[in-house]
């Protein structure tokens, strides 16, 4: 697969193939994400898909005529041109039948013809019942497609049709879109993290005072989840340690859920034993209440006049100071900083990098609610400081964009990997 060819403005020609599964209704939201980002989308459903969502819906949302047949507008040779003109092909949901037809090179409708003529990145998003996903025939077809260069997401686990639950659920549109953006920007065109295991922490820890009260922070986990999804798109095996995050699990990522700083420390250090890189994007509490009540503390009934705190473990410093279990392991920290009368944000960041001993430190300024690079937002800006004295400015943009830069810098530091396209 070659890198995408979209222009400087970021607009791309996207073919959105829709398979005949009940998850087709979710694809309308995915289409909206593409069009709102300025991309020109041609929707190509299968015949079965039109039984779930009709052609008028796709035409209205995309602004283009919709057909599943090669016989419509034959003078324009659509069975060749649709795939040939695309910068990216996304197929969602990719049913077991559609995966089988694609793997065997069948071309009995417009979508499978487009897949044969496409010379751009192809992203397949499987969705089906668990038994169908786990069947050896489906697994062989997925392996064949991946060997040929297609990017096939692992399905999420969750509620399926009826009362069934398990792996086979289509990932949420926002997650699919994040992977698609990575492919359009060239980060996934070559899997430069293939064969690597990376660990990412995300979210914010909670240190309980009693069963209903805790010391915490406003971290949503979006930056850590963007890092995990981007690493998976680039071929990595990803372990995501999530502290109190209410986001859907990234497809194909092992998620370990924790609550407190102590639980996060145990999970991260355990997963890091065979990791090539560890990225600590979680907002880990620096302090916890010294005393914890087993029952809710009530007003006027022994309520404390003051609360004493003790320090939590410094997970990042411990990671950096521990002899790396895997040669060349790269450790990345995050520093949410505010300037003060003593120093500005970057000065504090440089001091923290020296103190922690990490290879890279992502420094971003935070502030009050609504701050553009603060907690809970959808965008971020940062300066990535390197232990080698390097400084990489990342302007305000999506958290996926920052994730891509972080992994670019990690790849440069991994032994035995040559960065792609000079990144």
216 in the same domain as 97: no
370 in the same domain as 228: yes
341 part of a folded domain: yes
Q: Can you point out the beta strands (E) in 105-171? A: 122-126, 151-152, 156-159, 165-169
Out of 44-53, 334-343, 393-402, which region has the weakest mean confidence (pLDDT)?
Answer: 334-343
Q: Which whole number is the average pLDDT over 134-163?
A: 89
Residue 10's pLDDT band (cuts 50, 70, 90) = low
Span 222-274, pLDDT tens digits: 999 999 988 988 889 999 999 999 988 887 889 999 999 999 999 999 999 99
How would DSSP label each residue in 352-389? Answer: HHHHHT-SEEEEEE--STT-TTSTT-SEEEEEEEETTS
Span 212-232, pLDDT tens digits: 999 998 899 999 999 998 898
Say which DSSP state 96 is in.
Answer: H
151 in the same domain as 201: no
Task: Give the residue from 81, 83, 94, 85 showing the smallest Cα distance to 123.
Answer: 94
42 part of a folded domain: yes
238 in the same domain as 93: no
Q: Which of 184, 214, 241 is the last residue of a domain?
A: 184
Query: Residue 369 pLDDT more than 70?
Result: no
Give the residue numbers spanning the domain of 295. 197-422
6 part of a folded domain: no
User: Total domain count for the chain?
Assistant: 2
409 in the same domain as 268: yes
303 in the same domain as 166: no
Span 21-78, pLDDT tens digits: 999 999 999 999 999 999 999 999 999 999 999 999 999 999 999 988 766 665 564 5
358 in the same domain as 230: yes
pLDDT at 68: 84
Find the CATH number of the domain harbouring 80: 3.40.50.1950
7 part of a folded domain: no
Catalytic (active site) residue 244: no
- CA separation (Å) from 185 to 172, 200, 322, 345, 421? 20, 22, 35, 29, 12
Q: Among 58-72, 178-192, 397-411, name the most confident range.
A: 397-411
Find the CATH number of the domain harbouring 321: 3.40.50.10300
The proportion of the chain whose per-residue pLDDT surpasses 70, expressed as a percent, equals 89
Q: Which whole number is the average pLDDT over 181-202?
A: 82
121 in the same domain as 270: no
Q: Which of 133, 149, 184 is the last residue of a domain?
A: 184
Residue 349: alpha-carbon gap to chain centroid: 26
pLDDT at 235: 84
Residue ranges of alpha helices (H) inside 185-325 are 222-233, 261-271, 315-321
267 in the same domain as 412: yes
Mean pLDDT of the chain: 87
pLDDT at 53: 96
Q: Which residue has the higher pLDDT, 378 or 281?
A: 281
Task: Give the residue from 131, 125, 130, 99 showing the smallest Cα distance to 112.
Answer: 99
Q: Which residues pair with 234 in a beta bridge?
A: none
Which residues 6+ apart lie within 8 Å of 147 measured at CB? none
Residue 9's pLDDT band (cuts 50, 70, 90) = very low
Out of 28-37, 297-306, 370-379, which region has the weakest mean confidence (pLDDT)?
Answer: 370-379
192 part of a folded domain: no
Sheet holding 122-126, edge to edge: 40-45, 13-18, 88-94, 122-126, 151-152
With tokens 């403005």, the residue in question is 9
How would DSSP label each residue in 280-291? Answer: E-SB--SEEESS
Cis ω on the peptide bond leading into residue 93 (within 30° of 0)? yes
Q: Which whole number is the average pLDDT over 347-376?
A: 80
pLDDT at 77: 47
**CA 209/CA 214 separation, integer angstroms:** 5
Return the SS3 of 122: strand
Q: Which whole number is the average pLDDT over 382-396?
A: 94
Q: Which of 113, 141, 217, 380 is catalytic?
A: 217
Q: Which whole number is the average pLDDT over 83-100?
A: 95
Query: Residue 2 pLDDT more than 50?
Result: no
5 part of a folded domain: no
**CA 144/CA 82 separation, integer angstroms:** 23
271 part of a folded domain: yes
**CA 175/CA 381 separation, integer angstroms:** 20
Tokens of 347: 């000065």
332 in the same domain as 221: yes
Q: Which of 162, 184, 206 is the last residue of a domain?
A: 184
pLDDT at 325: 53
136 in the same domain as 227: no
**CA 149/CA 162 separation, integer angstroms:** 34
119 in the same domain as 48: yes
User: Other CB atoms closer than 10 Å to residue 295's CB: what's the count?
Assistant: 9
394 part of a folded domain: yes
Return the SS3 of 16: strand
């Amino acid at each position: 697969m070659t890198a995408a060819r979209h222009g400087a403005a970021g607009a791309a020609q996207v073919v959105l193939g829709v398979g005949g599964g009940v998850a087709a209704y979710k694809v309308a939201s995915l289409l909206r994400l593409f069009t709102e980002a300025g991309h020109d989308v041609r929707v190509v459903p299968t015949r079965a898909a039109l039984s779930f969502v009709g052609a008028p819906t796709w035409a209205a949302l995309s602004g283009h005529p919709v057909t599943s047949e090669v016989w419509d507008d034959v003078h324009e040779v659509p069975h060749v041109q649709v795939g040939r003109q695309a910068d990216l092909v996304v197929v969602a949901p990719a049913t077991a039948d559609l995966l089988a037809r694609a793997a065997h090179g069948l071309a009995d409708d417009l979508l499978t013809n487009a897949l044969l003529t496409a010379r751009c990145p192809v992203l397949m998003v499987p969705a089906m019942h668990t038994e169908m996903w786990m069947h050896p025939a489906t697994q062989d077809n997925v392996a064949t497609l991946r060997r040929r260069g297609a990017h096939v997401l692992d399905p999420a686990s969750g509620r399926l049709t009826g009362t069934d639950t398990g792996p086979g659920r289509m990932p949420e549109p926002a997650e699919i879109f994040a992977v698609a953006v990575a492919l359009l920007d060239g980060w996934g065109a070559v899997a430069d993290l293939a064969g690597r295991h990376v660990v990412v922490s995300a979210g914010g820890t909670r240190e309980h005072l009693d069963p209903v009260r805790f010391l915490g922070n406003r971290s949503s986990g979006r930056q850590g989840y963007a890092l995990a999804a981007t690493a998976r798109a680039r071929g990595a095996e990803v372990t995501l340690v999530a502290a109190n995050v209410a986001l859907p699990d990234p497809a194909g990522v092992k998620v370990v859920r924790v609550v407190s700083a102590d639980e996060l420390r145990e999970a991260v250090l355990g997963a890091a034993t065979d990791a090539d890189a560890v990225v600590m994007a979680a907002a880990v509490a620096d302090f916890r209440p010294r005393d914890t009540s087993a029952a809710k503390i009530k007003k006027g009934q022994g309520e404390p006049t003051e609360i004493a705190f003790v320090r939590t473990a410094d997970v990042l410093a411990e990671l950096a100071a521990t002899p790396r279990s895997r040669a060349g392991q790269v450790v990345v920290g995050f520093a949410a900083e505010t300037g003060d009368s003593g120093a500005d944000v970057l000065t504090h960041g440089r001091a923290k990098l020296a103190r922690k001993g990490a290879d890279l430190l992502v420094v971003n300024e935070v502030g009050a609610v609504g701050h553009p690079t603060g907690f809970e937002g959808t965008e971020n800006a940062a300066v990535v400081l390197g232990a080698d004295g390097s400084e990489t400015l990342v302007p305000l943009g999506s958290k996926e964009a920052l994730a891509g830069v972080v992994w670019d810098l990690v790849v440069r530091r991994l032994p035995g990997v040559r960065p792609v396209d000079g990144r």
